[in-house]
Chain A
Amino acid sequence: MSTSFRTDQEFFLDPQRCIGCHACEMACAECETNGQLPMIHVDYVDRFLSPQTSVQICMHCEDPVCARVCPAVAIEKDEFGIVHSANTARCIACSNCVNACPFGVPRKIEPMDLMMKCNMCYDRTSAGKKPMCATVCPSGALFYGTREEMARRRPNSSPVNTFKFGRETVKTKVNIMMPKGETELVVYE
């Protein structure tokens, strides 16, 4: 597959910067691996109360739950830590990954009987480019670059890649921007 994947660049996510414009979603669909289907998720958390939106790309877990619960061994993580979309030959569309992913990322594409998910724009990142969503995001909710660049831009925030789901700790390739000094995001106790 790839020859020019930039291992010095990382993904940084900051949901509180999201303005819910869906530019990322439109751009994601343009990614050639996606067949005009967006893999990123942008939703209102509760529009009745607030215009807050959640924005979620694949976090590319170190030990991906989606891959572990896949009965068909269709989900694989590559040498760069990218967890890829389901192998099209193997996926039997059982939705285990869709319902087990702690971040709610994989999508089942109903008529195709296939799971597809964010592969960090592999067509672009494998060619040394930035993912579509992070390139177009107008508000910095999605950022792709080096750790140093991020530290310069966001001196008072810390990138965190440890998530606590009760007793479960999930480590990811993708970072989320937290208040300075934080080392984990507790999703629930």
Chain B
Amino acid sequence: MISTLNRLALTLATLATLGLVAAIYLGSRNLGNFDPALVAYLFACIFACFGVVYRYSVWLQRPPTWRYFARGWQLFFSGRAIVYGWEFVKNFFVNFLGQRFIQKRGRDLGRGHLLMAWGCILAFGVTFPLVFGWIHFGLKPGGIDTYEIYTFGFKTMEFPLHTWIATLIFNALNWSAFLVIAGVMLLIRRRLTHAGQIAVQTFEGDWLPLLLLLAISLTGLGISLDYKFMDGKAHQFMAITHAITVILFLVWMPFGKFFHIIQRPAQLGIAIYRKAGEEGPQAVCPHTGQAFTSQLQVGDLKDVTTQLGFDFRRSDGGSHLDYSPQGKRALLATAHLKARQKAGSYFG
């Protein structure tokens, strides 16, 4: 078992997990601010941390991934950090927060995913610090109508009770649940009606994530509803089901669909890579005479394919990778034409 594991990834994951544990210990002031009720969540988070870092490290070691990862940092520290930094920031807002590229993939998908993503970001922002004991709330001593927020043990904010700001903060997880539910509904409708989606969808890859998010949101809302309308009679049930769904989410994170949340920022690196490619010399296809990508990418691809065991070198000293996709298609059609001509008949 141990021998099939990736040593490097194992080390990194262990270090990261230890780091997280240390950060929790320190951040919660030696567990002073830690809420024991959340201990199950805590262990799930630690597990998720280990799993995510392990998988991420394995992933990074693939030749094409490593090439991009290394290039990304190399470019970032190449002295053009401002240009690339701007590219990074621009893409962060447009494509990461605004998810414009998903909007372009379809209206329902775009809206649904945006709602869901923002719901999740909000929920993560609240849940993780709470679970880690990094923030906690308390009544301001000497009164009953002012609340205080402590971060890493330091007071960062206070606000009066029974105001809109209090409602906003106390119900943060409810708001996120509403966002997620609305998003999930749009996406479920799409999965039920779009013939193309129906053709290629899988339960594990497409339905399970939606259902899991829905379950987390509904059970989370359930806790509040129970508290508000049922005097907490079902609290135990609600708390346990919610915990189960969230823990499932966390434990599944490194393996399943949700890993893309961790993986996605790589897109920002690609934006920088592309920018650098555009600024550098372009690869011109010998067949079409047109530029089709950067020489940077063609060069990297030559290295990567070689590392992967492919050999696309040509006897004339060039490489098949010097040709654009259209050029490659033309080469094939031309080779086929010649083979047919050699045989004396196009048909038969």
* Cross-chain contact A54 with B64 (CB below 8 angstroms): no
User: Complex: how many Å from CA A185 to CA B338?
Assistant: 10
User: Complex: how many Å from CA A166 to CA B228?
Assistant: 73
A19 contacts the other chain (Cβ, under 8 Å)?
A: no
Say whether, besides A32-B195, A113-B101, A156-B348, A104 and B328 are in contact (CB < 8 Å).
yes
The residue of chain A having its C-beta at the shortest distance from the C-beta of B302 within the complex is A100
A159 to chain B, nearest CB (A): 13
A167 contacts the other chain (Cβ, under 8 Å)?
A: yes
Q: Mark B257-291, 1 if CB is under 8 A from A, else 0.
A: 10010011011001001000000000000000000
Say whether, besides A32-B196, A113-B101, A166-B311, A72 and B348 are in contact (CB < 8 Å).
no
B312 contacts the other chain (Cβ, under 8 Å)?
A: yes
**CB contact between A90 and one of B260, B270, B313, B343 (< 8 Å): that residue:** B260
B233 contacts the other chain (Cβ, under 8 Å)?
A: no
B-chain residues with CB within 8 Å of residue A88 when the two chains form the complex = 105
B-chain residues with CB within 8 Å of residue A189 when the two chains form the complex = 314-315
A-chain residues with CB within 8 Å of residue B326 when the two chains form the complex = 41, 43, 104
A-chain residues with CB within 8 Å of residue B105 when the two chains form the complex = 35, 88, 112, 114
User: Complex: how many Å from CA A62 to CA B66?
Assistant: 24
B305 contacts the other chain (Cβ, under 8 Å)?
A: yes
Task: Choose, from B13-21, B145-153, B329-337, the stretch at the interface.
Answer: B329-337
Report the interface size for chain B: residues with CB under 8 A from the other chain: 69
Those of A99-132 within 8 Å (CB) of chain B:
99-106, 111-114, 119, 122-123, 126-127
B5 contacts the other chain (Cβ, under 8 Å)?
A: no
User: Complex: how many Å from CA A65 to CA B90?
Assistant: 32
A-chain residues with CB within 8 Å of residue B347 when the two chains form the complex = 16-17, 156-157
User: Complex: how many Å from CA A53 to CA B100?
Assistant: 36
A168 contacts the other chain (Cβ, under 8 Å)?
A: yes
Task: Choose, from B174-182, B245-253, B292-300, the stretch at the interface.
Answer: B292-300
A-chain residues with CB within 8 Å of residue B333 when the two chains form the complex = 15, 45, 52-55
User: Complex: how many Å from CA A101 to CA B59?
Assistant: 21
**CB contact between A99 and one of B62, B266, B310, B321 (< 8 Å): that residue:** B321
A-chain residues with CB within 8 Å of residue B339 when the two chains form the complex = 178-179, 182, 185-186
A71 contacts the other chain (Cβ, under 8 Å)?
A: yes
* Cross-chain contact A157 with B266 (CB below 8 angstroms): no
A-chain residues with CB within 8 Å of residue B314 when the two chains form the complex = 166, 188-189
* Cross-chain contact A35 with B196 (CB below 8 angstroms): yes
A-chain residues with CB within 8 Å of residue B329 when the two chains form the complex = 41, 43, 54, 56, 103-104
The residue of chain A having its C-beta at the shortest distance from the C-beta of B308 within the complex is A68
B123 to chain A, nearest CB (A): 19
* Cross-chain contact A65 with B310 (CB below 8 angstroms): yes
A-chain residues with CB within 8 Å of residue B336 when the two chains form the complex = 15-16, 176, 178, 185
Say whether, besides A32-B195, A99-B298, A1 and B104 are in contact (CB < 8 Å).
no
B234 contacts the other chain (Cβ, under 8 Å)?
A: no
**CB contact between A72 and one of B65, B100, B298 (< 8 Å): that residue:** B65
A94 contacts the other chain (Cβ, under 8 Å)?
A: yes
**CB contact between A179 and one of B263, B313, B348 (< 8 Å): that residue:** B348
User: Complex: how many Å from CA A165 to CA B321?
Assistant: 11
**CB contact between A123 and one of B196, B267, B315, B346 (< 8 Å): that residue:** B196
* Cross-chain contact B320 with A188 (CB below 8 angstroms): yes
Those of A53-90 within 8 Å (CB) of chain B:
53-56, 65, 68-73, 84-85, 87-90
B302 to chain A, nearest CB (A): 9
User: Complex: how many Å from CA A165 to CA B305?
Assistant: 13
A178 to chain B, nearest CB (A): 6
User: Complex: how many Å from CA A135 to CA B127?
Assistant: 54
* Cross-chain contact A186 with B335 (CB below 8 angstroms): yes
A9 contacts the other chain (Cβ, under 8 Å)?
A: no
User: Complex: how many Å from CA A73 to CA B343?
Assistant: 42
* Cross-chain contact B308 with A69 (CB below 8 angstroms): yes
B77 to chain A, nearest CB (A): 20
* Cross-chain contact B263 with A98 (CB below 8 angstroms): no
* Cross-chain contact A72 with B320 (CB below 8 angstroms): no
* Cross-chain contact A113 with B106 (CB below 8 angstroms): no
* Cross-chain contact B301 with A123 (CB below 8 angstroms): no
* Cross-chain contact B199 with A33 (CB below 8 angstroms): yes
B194 contacts the other chain (Cβ, under 8 Å)?
A: yes
Subset of 7 A-B contacts with CB under 8 Å: A1-B199, A89-B257, A94-B270, A166-B313, A185-B339, A187-B332, A189-B314
Other than the given A69-B64, A92-B264, 15 more pairs (CB < 8 A) read: A16-B346, A35-B105, A41-B325, A93-B270, A99-B292, A104-B325, A111-B100, A114-B105, A127-B199, A157-B347, A166-B313, A167-B311, A167-B313, A182-B343, A188-B314
Q: Report the 3 A-B pairs with minimum CB-CB distance, sorted nearest first.
A: A156-B348, A104-B325, A179-B343
